[in-house]
Structure 1
Amino acid sequence: MEAYKEYDYLLIGAGIMGLTICFELQKKYPDKRIAIIEKENDVAKHASGRNSGVLHAGFYYTSNSLKAKFTKDGNMLMKEFCDSNGIYVNHCKKVVVASNEEELRVLYELYDRGKQNGVDISLIDEEELYQIEPNSKTYKRALFSPTTASVNPVEVCKKLKEILIEKKVDFFFNTKYLKRKEDIIVTNKVNFKPKLLINAAGLYADVIAKDYGFSRDRIIIPFKGIYLKYTGSDQLIKTNIYPVPNLLNPFLGVHYTVTADNHIKIGPTSMPAFWRENYGGLRNFKLAEFLQISYFEILLFITNSFNFRKLAISEIRKYNKAHFAGLAKKLTNNLEIRKFNQWLKPGIRAQLLNKKTLELEMDFIIEGDSKSIHLLNAVSPAFTCSFSIAKYLMNTENLREPEPKSETITYS
């Protein structure tokens, strides 16, 4: 076996971020040698294939954040890619509803953010809400987002893989990053020597970043997200219905999602997980991960940073289907919640925690230098933003910096 394979660009992770960055790289540098390594046997095996498929509009985020910078354009670019490649887009739209005066104030804040971010959004009254989605209800006002849509995320990722293989990008599946040895990337199969490494490893992005001197004061704390599917034959809801979120944490609350194939589901949960791939049972259990993550979760519980104690207790209660569905029922009228009774496969949110402040990072974080770029905290709406982030990284100064660079913009 040869000592190593040489590439101009080596990407780690065949999720949506790795695939879209590779897609834009190949377009910009068609003669460069590009490869993707992925520890699973195919694309989209983790968050990219387990998310809701919702294309967000971009009104949740303050204007100085990377999420605001990338969501609006990412929504448009993803739709363009899908339209160009025969992938169905469900233009199901979205409403955000309030339940009291306090939530109404947050609703106005979201409207202001949307306007600052250039998002197509409007404040509507109860009668207008009824015309859009008769089964939803609100307190005085609601937000209407006409550009929110849904796609099948696995279908998007598989199409990207197909295109990239046609363009002679090399895929190495079942190939796990083990360590960095100077300029060599050591894996369980073959070693690599890239001119530039791009780390889009999701749940393990922080671990790889540390091998390059980045993400020193941060660690990924996994949160498990599960949806309940509506099993009735009738289509009771045609529009995504979301509650007003708590702006102090990055979770959007239990909501109704209309999928690309017009199924209805409620969720997700935001349950603290105990190791990075804690989907169910003891599969992929790693003692070192369990001990490390448990330590920080216990610390968060004791200090109650960002109200973690209440979050953890409330999330555990969601394992009861009736309780879980009851939370969603608050957003609607006359909905038979007992038909929300089928658990869908869980996903894990790779949420970055600042170890010094014990606060969750609210924004995307991009760090890197002339040898490597690391995408950290690539959580929702990362799927929506993926093409936009990829195009941003195509700027020469972002791909090749002579001196170490760190770009971190925090949502506030």
Structure 2
Amino acid sequence: MYDFAIIGGGIVGLSTGMALSKRYPQARILVLEKESQWAFHQTGNNSGVIHSGIYYKPGSFKAKFCRDGRDSMVKFCQEYGIDHEVCGKVIVATDEQELPRLENLYQRGLENGIEVKRISPQEVKEIEPHVSCVGGIRVFSTGIVNYKQVCLKYAELIQQQGGELRLNTKVLKISPNGKHHVLETNQGNFETRFVINCAGLHSDRIAKLGGVQPQAKIVPFRGEYYELTPEKRYLVKTLIYPVPNPEFPFLGVHFTKMIDGTVHAGPNAVLSLKREGYTKTDFDLKDFAEVMTYPGFWKLAAKHADEGIQEIIRSFSKAAFTRSLQKLIPEVQAEDLVPTHAGVRAQALMDDGKLVDDFYIVPGNNSIHVCNAPSPAATSSLEIGKAIAAQIAQHSDMPAVVS
């Protein structure tokens, strides 16, 4: 009998396991992951950015968790010798019409308690010599890291505390057994007092297995990236972002220096035809049918039809993708870009077509279901884990050690 069973071995599941092992050192903790390695999906295919929190609505979970999570993530990396760099980033307006939005973003940064500075085009060029813009913001606290390395350390710390980690273990059914749950998997059954669902791209399905009906469905969006060729990496020193369109839920294509020295450009955002569909040809009939028959998707598609069409064009046209990047760095040419890995974002979508913009955690019977944990979940993972452990304390009579 386990005290806590966590479904999902991405960064949120592992951070939750680590937080529980600290809060309940005597507890039997189990982490189940269906893949052969940790951080296989969203965590292992993200941009590796330690976000500052500038974009998020003041007072939201995203804003608080990201601001606090950025500090705790940097401290964690320092403590355990994980490669990282607090390099900062610039957000730039490429035409005069974007300047009011840039100013709004600057004010939001101040409201969120982030160190930001307005900078002129000349000051932008001192940081990023190849950028063309009419104004910018410097965000000092943004950093980069390899989140797979972070996850491996989380897993190691869980094991040191006595937790049990199981890869290649897929949950097929969740059955009640009195006050407990029986998790039926491809590797046998596991009984637990409490279930924590951190299944990412499949979190809504796992919630339903546990008898919970979340008021949102996961719709997968693929983000496709190019990488600058080695001889063109000099074009980017840190991270370069455009001013986001507040009406569109994605940030737009940008340049990201990775912790290994490579430079990624992207992503666009297109509907994935499979929840774990990392290429254009990946297709799953069940996943596709769920989206196509979901009214919320069509309401979202109608609202953002123009932007959606542009994203699809960028997906199939390298020339169009390159033109988007040239708004930031005019020198970039198509031959400077080579395709690299894509990521798939698990985006929770409501029936009315509204995207769930914040973290969405649904309580159940002796269970908690993390049904939306988009970016900046990796940055915020330590804070999310602690928050979930604190929520569980309201439902558990186990003795806790609270630092």
> TM-score if structure 2 supplies the norm length?
0.91
SS in 2 for 1:164: helix
Q: Which runs of 5+ in 2 are unaligned?
A: 397-403
Q: Which of 314, 320, 324 is matched with 1:323 structurally?
A: 320
Distance in 2 (CA, whole Å) between partners of 1:47 and 1:230 is 22
Q: CA deviation at 1:364?
A: 1.1
Specify which of 139, 145, 148 is matched with residue 154 of structure 1: 148
Alignment: residue pair count = 390
1:351 matched residue in structure 2? 347
Provide the rounded CA distance (Å) in 2 between the counterparts of 1:282 and 1:256. 26
Tell me the equivalent position of 1:408. none
Partner in structure 1 of residue 98 of structure 2: 103
Deviation at 1:322, TM superposition (A): 2.3
Whole-angstrom CA distance in 2 between matches of 1:75 and 1:316: 32
Alignment of 1:13-412 (within 5 A): 13-139=8-134, 141-182=135-176, 183-234=181-232, 235-280=234-279, 285-296=283-294, 300-301=297-298, 304-307=301-304, 309-318=305-314, 319-333=316-330, 335-355=331-351, 357-369=352-364, 371-395=366-390, 397-401=391-395
For 1:169 and 1:392, the matched residues in 2 are separated by 19
1:387, CA displacement in angstroms?
A: 0.8
Assess, with a 3 A threshold, how the Cα gap between structure 1 residues 341 and 118 changes in structure 2: closer, same or farther.
Answer: same
Amino acid at match of 2:236: I
**Matching residue's letter, 1:128:** E
Alignment-derived partner of residue 410 in structure 1:
none
**What is the aligned-residue identity percentage?**
37
CA distance in 1, matches of 2:375, 2:213: 19
The CA deviation at 1:300 is 4.0
Alpha-carbon distance in structure 2 between the residues aligned to 1:361 and 1:79: 27
Quick one: distance in 2 between partners of 1:329 and 1:282? Answer: 28
What's the secondary structure of 1:233's corresponding residue? Answer: helix
Which residue type is aligned with residue 239 of structure 2?
N
Output one character per residue of 1:311-330: Cα deviation in whole Å (capped at 9) or x when no partner.
Answer: 33212211222221220110
For residues 291-319 of structure 1, what are the alpha-carbon distances to aligned partners after superposition, in whole Å with 9 as ceiling and x for unaligned? 1112238x745774431x22332122112
Indicate the larger mover: 230-239 or 14-23.
Answer: 230-239
Could you say if the C-alpha distance between residues 379 and 143 of structure 1 is closer, same or farther in structure 2, counting changes exceeding 3 Å? same
One-letter amino acid of the counterpart of residue 358, structure 1: G
Deviations 1:206-232 (A, max 9, x none): 111223344433111100011100013
Q: Answer yes or no: is the 8 Å Cα contact 2:212–2:364 preserved in 1.
A: no
